[in-house]
Amino acid sequence: SKEFTEQLSQIGNPKAIDESLNALTWGISKCAEDFDSVPGAAGIRVAKTDSTKWGSKAIPKLTVFFRIGGAHVDLLWIEAEKPSC
């Protein structure tokens, strides 16, 4: 969605989170139904990563909200927490 794209651009250096985001979206593409549903939000699911370090770079915890729409998935919202490591 437009909001997802805007939020991703505001997170900061996208190269610092590319690997985490790629892994997360790959998981969503392969088994979207396996991710938890958001209570009280009809049809919305959530996928999360943990914060970590990659070399000298801290990778933030990512949370992606999405909706399964037939044969496709709509990425709705992304949040990033400051790394704790």
pTM attached to this predicted model: 0.76
Sign, Cα dihedral of 41, 47, 66, 13: positive
Region 34-43: what's the mean pLDDT? 93
Give the whole-number percent of the chain exceeding pLDDT 70: 82
Q: How far apart are CA 14 and CA 19, in angstroms?
A: 10
How many whole angstroms separate alpha carbon 34 and alpha carbon 52? 23
pLDDT for the residue numbered 3: 80
Q: How confident is the model at residue 16 (pLDDT cuts 50, 70, 90)?
A: low
pLDDT score of 81 more than 60: yes
